[in-house]
Structure 1
């Protein structure tokens, strides 16, 4: 049976502004049917990397948080730390970045909590029912402590997953540092000796005695390493790295399985804003020009149907002249595949459907 996906365009006038329109979308889509009263509500979103301007404005987050608070809930905005070098590598830098990009209690009406803690190691091992590649997902603790889960997603392209939609926001975004490593990497971290200065900070942080320093260079004993990623966070020279060696198909399937770990067993709702559709992830310290015109706001209880509806809506749009999607194979009407031809985004939706998260079949209802 097809899932219902609700859609609103971005037209507005003095009768109703865009934030009010989003509120009407959430009401019409049934988000108000969730029991929020005295419940902790995680609103998962991306706070943007410094230098990137495509991420969702905090005004959108406030609209969602206010909706929850009006129904007695206790919302908080959340995300997990990253593996790569940047403004969100640890909990403190992550909070600084969120604040720099406008996310604070004054602008959003709720607190910001980095779900996997200061060093990216505050996680919960969550069984993945029906998982084929992941048996236990490593999810940021604050995400799993919430009674209700809401994803608020900026829909855009992605250089590895094909596009970044609700499932990418949930699965990869809610993974702790070790969880992100598991999704991206079939192995364990290694030391780039060109960057290492032998300071020994990694040896002090490792709980498994996997790191040692010899001749002013650190080395990792992979027979002891458990892949927690704490050494990646602590290294002051960014010398400890992973190989981004998982296949794009397996990456997408792991994203689906991590998503199932997050959404199983509690009320969830999903919102995607198809605006400023940049070709790459908001994790970049820059954003390229939008590849299509802005489309609108989408909402559903089913994240699989939501992603399918959003990608169909993007592919139905004309390409913006001069953007990354302008050119390439003109016969390829999949804008995301045209930009990133090595990706395999459908594998995520197919696998998510197979393991019971939702369905790719949807009924699009315009409000």
Structure 2
């Protein structure tokens, strides 16, 4: 018998059974209230969506979770971290504007937004994990400082991970920008000389003092560089090249280790809800949303992120693919759709490794909530 994963389908024939009310029953059935205490600050970790993307979780659904947290007298705030890539969520000002334009205004969701890693992703706490790839991980300060956390995740594909759910939301979503860089790449950064103005900000931020200004341009000593990613995020002109290349299995291991670090100080204080709707081939960081690859299935909740993600992954793969999508050949229900789309990735490896390091269990029992 594995971890309990609670499920609601999307069928409805009355006000009592509309999705908003079913979400509230799901919250209670999964006993997510057990992680909450009166008066404590509860982070609602989600993805606000890049501008141009519409696959993210609908703000009205988020409101139902916020209302449940308030019902138990905790104090919810919506949160995410700034991105490593250049887009509409690179810094907190642009990130807040994007979130509000995508529907997450206080008047809609009933909770304030706090970007957890600060204006330029410098609000960082090092968490000791002592795992295979990392001794320490860089977690956004206000996620670390929150008393409890509800993690709301949109299940979809991802170019490097293959599949994205709760584990990816914890790993990338709770990391500072330099932590994201460390997950993505084993390479060391390079300066784009035509963009560099020699301002010296990267010199001041480098923890190993391996950057100097020579002839008006930054130069990185790769022999001293530890690949921490601080310089890539410190440079406001994006004159230091972000490195994305990595071994995919190592990337999945690193994500699992960051997810582990994100919740290490919150034992029995984190709950998870996955929305298996609008299952797009790529994540919500891209400024578009492709056609969903399977029908909308439902919403699942658990206190175990590994069991929850594995259940969602299996449900999606057991579906017949929809026509006219990224899956452009006939594949049978049960075949791995994410591996078909992202051919160089073994998406299920992250479940094995996450279980190995103690993040959760691959074994699950699905319980349908009526």
TM range (shorter): over 0.9
Contact 2:155–2:163 under 8 Å retained in 1: yes
Alignment pair present for 1:272 and 2:309: no
Which residue number corresponds to residue 334 of structure 1?
A: 336
Equivalent-residue separation in structure 1 for 2:32 and 2:202 (angstroms): 48
Unmatched runs of 5 consecutive residues or more in structure 2:
none
Shift, 1:189, TM fit = 1.9
Equivalent-residue separation in structure 2 for 1:221 and 1:109 (angstroms): 49
Which residue number corresponds to residue 128 of structure 2?
A: 127
Pairing of 1:7-156 with structure 2 (within 5 A):
7-16=7-16, 17-128=18-129, 131-156=131-156
Find 2:298's aligned residue among 291, 296, 299: 296
Pairing of 1:282-321 with structure 2 (within 5 A):
282-321=284-323
Contact 1:2–1:363 under 8 Å retained in 2: yes
Which residue number corresponds to residue 185 of structure 1?
A: 185
Alignment pair present for 1:257 and 2:291: no
**Most deviating of 236-245 and 1-10:** 236-245
Equivalent-residue separation in structure 1 for 2:235 and 2:98 (angstroms): 20
Equivalent-residue separation in structure 2 for 1:210 and 1:191 (angstroms): 13
Structure 1, residues 299-336: CA drift from partner, whole Å, max 9, x if none? 00110000110011101111111100132777981000
Shift, 1:160, TM fit = 0.4
Pairing of 1:154-193 with structure 2 (within 5 A):
154-193=154-193
Contact 1:205–1:230 under 8 Å retained in 2: no
CA RMSD of aligned residues (A): 2.0
Which residue number corresponds to residue 360 of structure 1?
A: 362
**Most deviating of 27-36 and 289-298:** 27-36
Normalising by the residue count of structure 1, what TM-score does the alignment of the two structures yield? 0.94
Q: How many residues align?
A: 365
Contact 1:196–1:217 under 8 Å retained in 2: no
Equivalent-residue separation in structure 1 for 2:328 and 2:166 (angstroms): 25
Contact 2:202–2:234 under 8 Å retained in 1: no
Equivalent-residue separation in structure 1 for 2:328 and 2:29 (angstroms): 36
Structure 1, residues 66-89: CA drift from partner, whole Å, max 9, x if none? 111110101111111111110111
Normalising by the residue count of structure 2, what TM-score does the alignment of the two structures yield? 0.93
Q: 3-state SS of the aligned residue for 1:196?
A: coil
Distance change >3 Å, CA 125–CA 203, structure 1 → 2: closer
Structure 1, residues 126-155: CA drift from partner, whole Å, max 9, x if none? 1115x1111111100000101112110000
**Most deviating of 318-327 and 306-315:** 318-327
Alignment pair present for 1:348 and 2:347: no
**Most deviating of 320-329 and 341-350:** 320-329
Shift, 1:218, TM fit = 2.9
Equivalent-residue separation in structure 1 for 2:225 and 2:83 (angstroms): 19
Distance change >3 Å, CA 224–CA 117, structure 1 → 2: farther
Shift, 1:234, TM fit = 4.7
**Most deviating of 29-38 and 48-57:** 29-38
Q: 3-state SS of the aligned residue for 2:274?
A: strand
Shift, 1:198, TM fit = 2.3
Contact 2:182–2:229 under 8 Å retained in 1: no
Contact 1:119–1:230 under 8 Å retained in 2: no
Unmatched runs of 5 consecutive residues or more in structure 1:
none
Distance change >3 Å, CA 186–CA 72, structure 1 → 2: same
Equivalent-residue separation in structure 1 for 2:36 and 2:184 (angstroms): 35
Contact 1:126–1:138 under 8 Å retained in 2: yes
Which residue number corresponds to residue 205 of structure 2?
A: 206
Equivalent-residue separation in structure 2 for 1:346 and 1:123 (angstroms): 30
Distance change >3 Å, CA 177–CA 235, structure 1 → 2: same
Equivalent-residue separation in structure 2 for 1:151 and 1:223 (angstroms): 39
